Amino acid sequence: MKVLLVGSGGREHALAWKLAQSPQLSALWTAPGNPGTGQVGKNIPIPVTDIPRLQEFCRLHAVDLVVIGPEAALEAGLADACMADGMAVFGPSQAAARIETSKTFAKQFMQRHDIPTARFAVYDQLEAAQEHLKQVDYPIVVKASGLAAGKGVILPNNPEQAQAALRDMLVSRAFGAAGDQVVIEERLQGEEVSLLAFCDGQSLALMPPAQDHKRLLDNDQGPNTGGMGAYAPAPLCPPELQAEILKKIMQPAVDGLRNEGMPFIGVLYAGVILTAQGPQVLEFNARFGDPETQVIIPLLNSDLLEIITRCTRQELAGHTIHWQPDSAVCVVMTSAGYPVKSTPPAVIQGLESLPADCRLFHAGVSQKDGALLASGGRVLGVTGLAAGLPQAVEAAYRGVKQIHFDGAHYRKDIAHTALGGNGSAYKMAGVDIDAGNRAVDLIREAVRSTFNRQVLTDIGSFGGLFDATLLVKMKAPVLVASTDGVGTKVKLAARLRRYRGLGMDIVNHCIDDILVQGARPLFFLDYFAASQLQPEILAEIVDGMAEACRAAGCVLLGGETAEMPGVYQPEECDIAGTIVGCVERSHILPRHDISAGDRLIGLASIGPHTNGYSLLRKIFEDVDLFQKIPASDETVADALLAPHRSYLDLLLPLIERSDSPIKGLAHITGGGFLENIPRILPKHLGAHIRFGTWEIPPLFRMVQKLGQISQTEMFRVFNMGIGMVIVAAESDVSALQSAIPEPTFVIGEIVDDIQQKVRLI
C-alpha cells in the first residue's frame, strides 16, 4: 500500500516508525513531516491544511490510504476531501471531528446521549458569562470552545482569575477564533486517564490506558501545554474500569455519532476523570494523542497498517490486536520559552548514544547542514520501554540525560503518581523522602568520580572522612576554609531551566576564595535547598559540581539536601558550599611586602560569575534573553549563565614557587573592584584602577545602558570583565605575564592613598 501520513509532530514520527514495519507498505510519505519521519519514509513540504495540494499529491502518486494525525487537518475537512476522491482515510469527517474541534458541540452531544460529564454552560458574550460566574457555587474550568493547541483550558483559583480568563478569550482574543465561545464547566476532582480506541464507525478496540501530564512544571504546576509526557499502561485504569468506560462512554459516543449521520472512523480519545461518582468525560479528541501515541504505539505488537485498513473497511469487529505486556514512559523535552514564546534554534547533541531501551521521537526538530536543531515548542519525546513501570521511568530519564540543547526543559516527575508518589503524610506536607533517595542514586556516580585515596567514606554517610596524613609531608601546613553561596543567580537559572552551571559556580567561587590565600583545595561540601526536591535538577547541579571538583583535583566529600516547602518558590533553589584547602605557611597570601608602585594585573572573567544578579534580573526582567548582545555573537542568556571561572590551574603553580612573583590576589566577587581589592592591602595603601587598560565586555556595556547605571556603581557591583587581580612588583610584571598562557592586563598600581582605597582614573 502507498500511504500518506499527515502531520509533523512526535505523534507522526511514532506512527511513521510503526507503519514502516508493515510488510503491506510499499511507500510512505509524511506531510510535512520532520527529520524523524524522514528517516523511515519521505517528507513532502505541504502544510497539513493545504487540502488542494494534498489531494493533488495523492492523485499524482496513486495514494491508497491517508492517515491524518493533527486535529487542525480534521477541522479543515481533509478527510472529507480525500474520501470524495475515492481514497481510504483513517480520520473522521469534519462533522464527526467536532467532538474535539468544538467543545460546545461535544458537551451538548454528551448531554444528548447521557454520557457522564461535568455540569456546564456556554457563552459568547462577556457580560452573560460573568453573570453565570456569580451564580455557581463550585470550582470551575474555563475552556475556549475551539482548537487552541492544548492551551485553551484555564483552571482559575479564584473569581478574579476566572474573570481574567473570560476577558482573555472573549475580549482580548488570546485564543483567536477558538475563543468565540467559552465553556464554563464544573471542575471535577480525581485522577485523569486517557483511553484511546481504534474505531471503524461501529466497533471499537481499546488501546492500553495512558496518563499524560499537561502542566509545564513538576507537581502539576505552571500553564497547560500540549503535553509534557505520558506513560502506559496506567495502573489506575485496570481492565474492569476500562470495560465500564467502554460501556458508558466510548461505545455510546460512537453509536451517537453514527445515529446522527456522521460515523466515526479513526481514533476516538476520551480524556476521563475518575471521580467518586464514577468516570466522567473531561474531553473527547478525534485522533491519536500526543504524547500518548509515543507510549502506546511502541507497545503494539500487531501490524498498525492492517488495523488501520480494517477500520477504513468496517472490518475491525472480531480482529485481535496484540500488545506487549511491558510499560512505556515518554518524557517530552521542550525549548526554553514553551509554551509562551518561541526561542532561536539550538543544536541538539547526544542523540547518537541513547540507551537500547529508549525510542526517540522528533517533534519540533529541524535539520540544517547535517545538524539537528531544536526549533521551538515540544522538541523531542524520549520513550523508555521496560518490563515494569519503574524500569521504564529509569530508562526514559537515562535517555533524556544523554541529550543536550540550549534551554532544554522537561518535567522530572513523569509517572511519579503511578509509582506511589502520593505516599506518606510527610510527603503530603511537601517533603518527599523517596525523592531524596532517588536523588542520591542519581548523583552517586558523579560524586564518586571526584574521590581519591584520601576519601574513607562513601556517599550517604553521616559525615565525610578525609585522610589528612598528606599534610604530614608539608613543612608547616595551614588549613584554609571558606563558605559561600551562588545567590540569586539561581532564580535566573530557574527561569531558563539551566542548572548545571550553578554547580560549577559554587565550587569555582569557593576555590577562588581560598586561592587568594595561596591554598590548594582538598575537599568541598555542598548545601542544596528547595521547596520541593526534584532529583533530576539536583543531579544536574551536582554533575556541574563534580566536573569543577575533578578539574581542580578536589573531592566532593559530601553535603546536605534540604526540602523546605513554603520557604522557596517552585523551580527555585538555594546553593551554598564550604571548601577546605591547605597552604604552606610560607606561601600564605597576601604577603607583607606589598608596597606603593606594585602593579595590578587583571585576569579575564567569563561573565558576571556569581555576583550582581539581583540587579541583573531586574534589568533583564522584560528583555528577550535569547537576543544577541550588541557587538557580540553571544546571547544574553549564555552570557548571564556562563559559569564562574576558576583560576587555580593558572595561578597555583606560580604561587607555590619558592621565588613566587605573586604578592597578593584579589578575587573580584561581591562588591566589585571597590570592595575586594582593599581586602588584601595594608591599611596605609590604596589602588588606582585605570580605565581603558582592558576592554569592557559587551554584556556589561549593555547592562550599564539598560540600567542607566553610573560608572562607579558598575565597578562596585560587577567584575567588569576582570575576575582575579594579581599584585606584583613592577619588575616582575613582564615575566609574570609571560608565565600565564593567556592575555593579561596591567590595570593599575598600588599607591600611597588612604583617603580613597580604590580610585578609578
What is the 3-state secondary structure of 358-380?
EEEEECCEEEECCEEEECCCEEE
Per-residue pLDDT at 431 exceeds 50: no
CATH of domain 327-402: 3.90.600.10
Stretch (H or E) spanning 672: helix 672-676
Per-residue pLDDT at 423 exceeds 50: no
Answer whether 254's CB lies under 8 Å from 201's CB: yes
Q: Which CATH superfamily is domain 425-587 in?
A: PurM-like, N-terminal domain (3.30.1330.10)
The CB density around residue 263, as the number of other CB atoms within 10 Å, is: 19
Summarize pLDDT for 42-56 with one digit per residue, the tens.
999 999 999 999 999
What band does 490 get if pLDDT is binned at 50, 70 and 90?
very high
SS3 state at 727: strand
Cell of 702: 549593555
Cell of 470: 598528606
Summarize pLDDT for 277-288 with one digit per residue, the tens.
889 999 999 999
Q: What percent of the chain has pLDDT over 90?
A: 73
C-alpha of 289 from chain center:
21
Predicted pLDDT at 556: 96
What band does 376 get if pLDDT is binned at 50, 70 and 90?
confident
In this prediction, residues 325-350 reach a mean pLDDT of 92
Mean pLDDT for the chain overall: 91
Answer whether 684's CB lies under 8 Å from 567's CB: no
What residue spans of 91-199 are helical by DSSP H? 98-101, 103-112, 126-135, 159-170
Predicted pLDDT at 142: 87
Predicted pLDDT at 325: 92
Answer whether 294's CB lies under 8 Å from 14's CB: yes
What residue spans of 136-216 are helical by DSSP H? 159-170
What residue ranges do the domains of the chain occupy? 2-90, 98-312, 327-402, 425-587, 599-760
What residue spans of 20-77 are helical by DSSP H? 35-40, 51-60, 71-76
Answer whether 158's CB lies under 8 Å from 142's CB: no
How far is residue 88's CA from residue 72's CA, in Å, rounded to a whole number? 19
**For residues 323, 326, 327 and 333, what is the CA-based torsion angle, rounded to 10 degrees?**
-80
Summarize pLDDT for 21-47 with one digit per residue, the tens.
999 999 999 999 999 999 999 999 999
SS3 state at 11: helix
- If you search the block for the grid coordinates 505516599, which residue do you land on? 423
Extended strands (E) in 244-314: 265-275, 278-285
Between 698 and 420, residue with greater pLDDT? 698
Per-residue pLDDT at 725 exceeds 90: yes
Q: Which CATH class name applies to 98-312? A: alpha beta
Per-residue pLDDT at 298 exceeds 90: yes
* Burial class of residue 518, CB neighbours in 10 A (0-12, 13-18, 19+): buried
Summarize pLDDT for 726-750 with one digit per residue, the tens.
999 999 999 999 999 999 999 999 9
**DSSP code for 209:** P
What band does 219 get if pLDDT is binned at 50, 70 and 90?
confident
What band does 424 get if pLDDT is binned at 50, 70 and 90?
very low
SS3 state at 279: strand
Answer whether 632's CB lies under 8 Å from 585's CB: no
* 2-90 maps to CATH 3.90.320.10: no
Helices 103-112 and 251-259 pack at an angle, to 10 degrees, of 100
Q: Which CATH superfamily is domain 599-760 in?
A: PurM-like C-terminal domain (3.90.650.10)
